[in-house]
A = this chain, B = another copy of it.
Amino acid sequence: MVKVDISMNSQLEKSIQQLKESVEASIDQLLPLSDQRPDNLHSSMRYSLCDGGKRVRGILVLLCSKIFKASADPLPAAVAIECIHAYSLIHDDLPAIDDSDIRRNKPSNHIAFNEATAILAGDALLTEAFKILSENYKENPELGIRLIQELATASSSLGMIGGQMEDIENEGQAVVASTLDFIHENKTAKLIQAAIYMGFAFSEESKRHSNEIRQLGYHIGMSFQYIDDLLDVQSDTETLGKPTGSDSDSDKLTSVKVYGIEGTQKKVAEHTSQAEALLDQLGGEQSILRPYIQFLQNRLN
C-alpha cells in the first residue's frame, strides 16, 4: 500500500492554507468578473478556476520564489500557471477527449455550461495566463519574458499538450514503459517543473544553481504523476473528486499497469530522495517547501 498520510503539523498546515488563500484572492482579483460581457464566458472561466483545486502549482511558484530573495511579487505568476492547469482540465473533460462529466465533485464545465462555452472558456484561460504575465511583469520585462517562456514551453506541443495527445492515442494499446514515461514526463511533470522554474526565476541567485533546479523540477514532477496513478487505483471517489479507477477502466496507460503497485511506490521513493538530495545542495529558505513536498508525496488527493 502507498503510504497515505495527510497529517501536517498545524503550523505548516496554516502556512499552506494561507498560501492557497493568497493564490485564490489573486485569481479573484486578476480574472475578469462574472458580470463582465460576455458574462456567460467569464462565469464559465471562473466556474473552473475559482472553486476547488489544491493550487499545488501556484503554491510551488510561491514557495520556490522564497528560497532566495525574490525580485518581484510572484502571485501573478502563480495565477497564470493555475489558469493553464484549469484550461487543460476543461479541455481534457470534453466529450471528444476524456468525456468526463464530473470534476472536483461537481459537473464538468461542458456539463454545467455547454460544449461550445467550455471550448472557448478553455481557450480564454490559456490566453489569460499570458495576458496576466505580460501585464504584471512589464516593469520587469526580463523576468516577464523568462516566466512566459517557461510556461509556454512546458505547456506546448513539446510538453503538456504533447503528453495529452499520446495519452489519447495509446488508450487500449499494449503497455509500453517508454510510452508511459513520455506521457508522464510531458502531460503532468512538465507543468510541475515549470512551477518550480518560474518560482526560482524571481531570484538572481538561482542563476548559479540552474542545473540543480532543472533536476529538482524533474524529480518532483515525475513523482507527482506516479502518486496520481496510485491514488487512482487506491483512493475512493469522494476523496478524489472524480471517479476512481477511471484511468484504468478506460484502458489508459498507467504506471500501476506497467510497474505494479510496489514498483510504482519504489519510483516515488527514488524521485523523492533525489529531490531531497538536491534541496540539500541548494540551501536557502526551505522551511515550508520541504515539508510541503513531503506532504505532496503522501497526499491523499
Contacts and interface: CB of A to CB of B under 8 A. Distances in A.
A83 to B, nearest CB: 11
**Interface residue range, chain A:** 35 or more
Interface string A25-44: 00000001000111011100
A131 interface: yes
Given A162-B38, A165-B38, A152 B134 contact: yes
A153 B136 CA distance: 13
A51 interface: no
Q: Dominant SS at the A interface?
A: helix
A123 B161 contact: yes
Contact of A157 (B128, B145, B158, B182): B128
A157 B94 contact: no
Copies of the chain in the assembly: 2
A149 to B, nearest CB: 4
A149 B138 CA distance: 9
Contacts of A36: 158
A123 B126 contact: yes
Contact of A158 (B32, B40, B117, B155): B32
A130 B115 contact: no
A114 B32 CA distance: 32
A161 B42 CA distance: 11
Contact of A134 (B87, B138, B148): B148
Given A40-B165, A131-B149, A149-B131, A97 B119 contact: yes
Contact of A119 (B42, B96, B124, B127): B96
A44 to B, nearest CB: 9
Contacts of A38: 157, 162, 165-166, 169
Contact of A169 (B40, B146, B182): B40
Nearest to A127: B156
Nearest to A135: B149
Contact of A41 (B42, B135, B165): B165
Count chain B CB atoms within 10 A of each CB in A128, A144, A148 and give the residue with the most.
A148
Interface of A: 32, 36-38, 40-42, 45, 87, 91, 94, 96-97, 114-117, 119-120, 122-124, 126-128, 130-131, 133-135, 137-138, 141-142, 144-146, 148-149, 152-153, 155-158, 161-162, 164-166, 168-169, 182
Given A117-B165, A120-B161, A141-B142, 19 more contacts: A32-B158, A40-B165, A41-B157, A91-B120, A96-B114, A119-B119, A123-B126, A124-B156, A127-B161, A131-B153, A134-B145, A134-B148, A134-B152, A137-B145, A138-B142, A138-B146, A138-B149, A141-B144, A141-B145
Q: What are the nearest 7 A-B pairs in CB distance?
A: A96-B115, A141-B141, A131-B152, A134-B149, A124-B157, A134-B148, A38-B165
